[in-house]
Amino acid sequence: MKVLVTGTEGYIGARLAPWLTARGHEVVGLDTGYYRDGTLYLDPIGLPQLPRTICKDLRTVVPQDFEGFDAVVHLAELSNDPLGQNRPEITFEINHEGSVRIAQAARRAGVKRLVYASSCSVYGIGAAELVDETSPVNPQTAYAQCKTLVERDLKPMADRDFSVVFLRNATAYGASPRMRFDIVLNDLCALAWTKRKIAMTSDGSPWRPIVHVEDICEAMGCALEAPAEIVSGEVFNVGATQENYRVREIAEIVASVFPGCEVSVGPPGSDNRSYRVSFDKIAARLPGFKARWTAKMGAEELRRLFERIEMSSETYEFRAFTRLKQMKYLRRTGQVDNDLYWRTR
């Protein structure tokens, strides 16, 4: 298939694009490049193929951008809760309206399938029992609210010629050249390595399902390739049911892989997002998908990576690896305007 992947310069996209290419697809990227100055490591053998990338803000896409493509995987958004809360009105503009624009333009250009990167954060504060794709959503932040709005608005667009698949990804972890240290397992591993401290920002009690970035790639590949009648209009949680952890359990796993660290908790009530998610549907109904990674394997992978690249505190703290820091920097220095469009000099 000829696939346009938005967000190819981001955390997931930097792994997904070469992964899809290795699977035999022809990939073109689209990204405005907010994090272009942040590369944690080079991997020309494991991740050989960087796609040709159209540098464009998704709020300005037109049907011509999608002509000749069979499918679109849409990842590009302001991607996480703190970033979304920082500028909620721009989050709605990019994540909600921009994503609807992408789908409309793709459909008009004759694209057959769109895979949308939604998030388990739509479940917000779940009850103690497992939530699944049929449970009511309960978004707590602008970011999560936009995910529910995009799902709502894209669902009716699906028809015989255009199928849309919604993948509600758990919180990701794992190595990516476009590394992020603002997601829980990556952050705790980096703290353990650079500071010998595993400091949770919450009291450790919230439930968080987590999934390796490679398992997300697998789900996206399977969602692209499955027969339309099986996946069109469907929502799949992406992860594995046994990979639901309380944050303190994730901290304990990290402590077992990075021994000799001090483990500490943050104040109670500092993070009200908590949900346990069932991933039984994707395991049963998405042909070819199997989640292969565990949190322990992910922590071990990061330990090996940090050793190999001699990861330092400066690298951990570098702005481009923490989304909110980078966007604040681009804004403060006037490189992007108030609406987060690049400014010409």
Interface residue list for ligand NAD (CB under 6 A): 7, 9-13, 31-35, 57-59, 75-79, 94, 98, 117, 119, 169, 171-172, 178, 180, 183, 323
User: Rounded to whole angstroms, what are the CA distances from 63 to 60, 92, 95, 96?
Assistant: 10, 21, 18, 18
CB 120 within 8 A of CB 170: yes
- In whole angstroms, the minimum distance from the beta carbon of 124 to ligand NAD comes to 14
- In whole angstroms, the minimum distance from the beta carbon of 178 to ligand NAD comes to 6
The beta strand positions in 260-345, using DSSP E, are: 262-264
Return the number of the residue (21 or 237) whose C-beta is nearest ligand NAD: 237
- In whole angstroms, the minimum distance from the beta carbon of 259 to ligand NAD comes to 26
- In whole angstroms, the minimum distance from the beta carbon of 243 to ligand NAD comes to 13
**Chain residue whose CB lies nearest ligand NAD:** 10
User: Rounded to whole angstroms, what are the CA distances from 229 to 103, 226, 234?
Assistant: 19, 8, 10
Picking from 124, 227, 215, 213, the residue whose alpha carbon sits closest to that of residue 173 is 213
- In whole angstroms, the minimum distance from the beta carbon of 31 to ligand NAD comes to 5
User: Rounded to whole angstroms, what are the CA distances from 155 to 50, 51, 63, 234?
Assistant: 31, 29, 19, 9
Return the number of the residue (98 or 204) whose C-beta is nearest ligand NAD: 98
CA separation for the pair 275, 138 (Å, rounded): 10
Return the number of the residue (229 or 338) whose C-beta is nearest ligand NAD: 338
CA separation for the pair 327, 314 (Å, rounded): 18
CA gyration radius, the chain: 19
Picking from 278, 285, 169, the residue whose alpha carbon sits closest to that of residue 234 is 285
Return the number of the residue (276 or 323) whose C-beta is nearest ligand NAD: 323
- In whole angstroms, the minimum distance from the beta carbon of 217 to ligand NAD comes to 11
Return the number of the residue (223 or 261) whose C-beta is nearest ligand NAD: 223
Return the number of the residue (185 or 191) whose C-beta is nearest ligand NAD: 185
